[in-house]
Amino acid sequence: MREKKYRLPQQSKRKINYTHLGMLCGIAVAALVLVIAAVVIVVRVITYDPFPEDASLTKEAGSVQSEISEEDALKIRYPSFEDENLDQAVQDVVKQLRENTDGEDTVIDYRSKTIFDTYTSVLFKITKTAEDGSTKISYASMLYDGNAQKALSVDDVFRNQVERDLLDGRKLEDVTAMELNEKDVTLYFSDGKSLPIVFSEHKEYIALNDPDIPSLYQNEPLSIAESPQIDPDKPMVAITFDDGPNPATTPELLDLLKKYDVRCTFFMVGKNAEANPDIVKRIYQEGHELGNHSWDHADLSQLSEAQIIEELQSTDDAIFKACGHDPLYIRPPFGAMSDVYQNTVDRDSILWTIDTRDWESHDASKIKKIIDTYVSDGSIILLHDIHEDSVKAMKSVIPELLEKGYQLVTVSDLYKYGRIS
C-alpha cells in the first residue's frame, strides 16, 4: 500500500501596513497629548491664584480666607480669628468693603500683624480696575486692642492736636486707614498718600495708654467706674464745676458724688490739674467727665491765636499726664469768646443755663435757691469746686434733685440724649 503524504498548509504571511500603523501611533500620541494637556489645564484652573503676588502683604496674624464673586467682580482675602470680638471687628470692615465695590473689578488683599501681644493690625489694600484698564489703589484698616476688647478709631490713637500740628493741612476725616507698627503708626489718606508718625519723635501726640508706646502718660490704663443707667425719657441735669481741682474741697465733693452714684463734668484749670494729678486721676476713674478751663483762668477773648493754643494745650497736657485722657470740651473763662477764639478752637465750647453765682455769694442757701428756681430738663448748672460753700450746697441739692426725678449726668449725656445740640 502506498503511503499517503500530507502537506501541512503553509502559514500565510501577512504583509504589515506600516502606513496604517503610523496613523494608529499618531492617534495614540495625539490622544495622550490631549490627556496631558487636559490635566495641565485642570491643574492650572485648580492652582490659579487670582490675587496678584505682593511680598509686602505679609499675613502674620489670623487664618487666610478668600472669596471670589464673579457677579460683583470682587476678589477679597481677609483674616479670621478665634477671638469672637476680634473676628467680628474684621467682619464689620469686610462688610463695608463688599458694599463699596461700585461695580468695578476689585481685588482686596491684606497685611496683618500682632503688636506687643496686645494689638492686632490689619491693613486692607484695595485695587480697583476701571473699564479703560486704569487702576486705583486705596486702603482700609482694622486696629484692635485686645486688652480693651474693641476696635480703635483714629481718636483712640491720637490726641487732639495731631491734626493741627502734623497732618500738613489734611483733616483726620481724610484718614481712610491706619497701621500700627512697633515704632510708629502709619496713616493712609483718601488721596492715596501715607504718613508715618514715629512714637519716639511725637510722643506728645499719642493717646494710646501702653507702657511699650511712648506718650506723655506712661502708666497702666486706668479702670473707670461703671456709670448708672440713664432713662432717656426722664429729665436730666448736668452739674458742672469750674476752677479746680482744689485739695481742700474737691475730694469732699467727690465723696458726695460717689455716695449718690451721680456723674458730673469738671472744667479744670491747667495749673491746678498739674499740681493735683491724683485728684484728676480720681475724677476720671470715678466716671466723671473732663473739661478744659484754660491754664490760669485767662480771658481767652483777649488773646492771640498762639496764646489761646498755648493756654488750652498746656491744660490738655496736664490732664493727660495725670490720667491718660484729654478733656473733651472747653469752657472759656467768663464765657468770653472772640472771633479769634472761635476760629482757633475746634472743640465744643460749653457754657451754662444756670449761673449759681457761688463765686459771689459764698452762701449755700442762696446757691440752692437759684438752682431750685431755674432747674429744668437739660439744665447745665455752673458751680465751682474750689469754694467750700458750693460743696456744702451740694449736700442738699443732689438728694433733692434725685427725689424730684432728675438724673444727674455729664454734658456728653445731654448731647447723647438730645437735651442740647
In a domain, 49, yes or no: no
Domain termination residue (choose one: 190, 205, 220): 205
Q: State the residue range of the domain holding 410.
A: 236-416
Distance in angstroms (rounded) separating the CA atoms of residues 420 and 379: 9
pLDDT digits (tens, 9 = 90+) for 260-279: 999 999 999 999 999 999 99
Q: Are residues 181 and 302 in the same domain?
A: no
* pLDDT tops 50 at residue 121: yes
**224 within domain boundaries:** no
Instruction: Supply the pLDDT for residue 421.
Output: 81
Q: What is the pLDDT of residue 31?
A: 55
The number of folded domains in the chain is 2
Provide the CATH number for the domain around residue 382.
3.20.20.370
Examine the domain organization and report whether 359 and 250 are in the same domain.
Answer: yes
Q: Which residues contact 387 (CB under 8 A, 6 or more apart)?
A: 249, 358, 359, 362
Q: Which ranges of 229-290 would DSSP assign to H, the alpha helix?
A: 250-260, 270-275, 277-285
Mean pLDDT of the chain: 90
294, 374: one domain = yes
Q: Is the pLDDT score of 190 beyond 60?
A: yes
Same domain, 178 and 71: yes
**Within a domain: 362:** yes
What is the pLDDT at residue 3? 42
In Å, how far are 295, 335, 381, 403 from 298, measured between CA atoms?
7, 11, 21, 38
Q: How many other CB atoms are there within 10 angstroms of residue 24's CB atom? A: 10
Answer whether residue 76 is part of any domain: yes
344: nearest Cα among 357, 334, 330:
330
Q: Domain of 92: which CATH number?
A: 3.30.565
Q: Tell me what the mean pLDDT of segment 119-142 comes to.
A: 94
- The catalytic residue positions are 242, 384
CA distance 196 to 183: 9
List residues bridging with 381 in a β-sheet.
Answer: 239, 354
3-state secondary structure of 150: strand
Kindly state whether residue 122 falls inside one of the protein's structural domains: yes
Answer yes or no: do 89 and 199 share one domain: yes
Which pLDDT score is estimated for 174?
93
The candidate with the shortest Cα–Cα distance to 297, out of 341, 242, 363, 239, is 242
225 and 361 Cβ atoms separated by less than 8 Å:
no
Taking residues 75-104, what's their average pLDDT? 94
Largest CA distance in the chain: 168
Q: Is residue 94 part of a domain?
A: yes
31-56 core/surface letters (b: 16 or more CB in 10 A; e: else) = eeeeeeeeeeeeeeeeeeeebeeeee
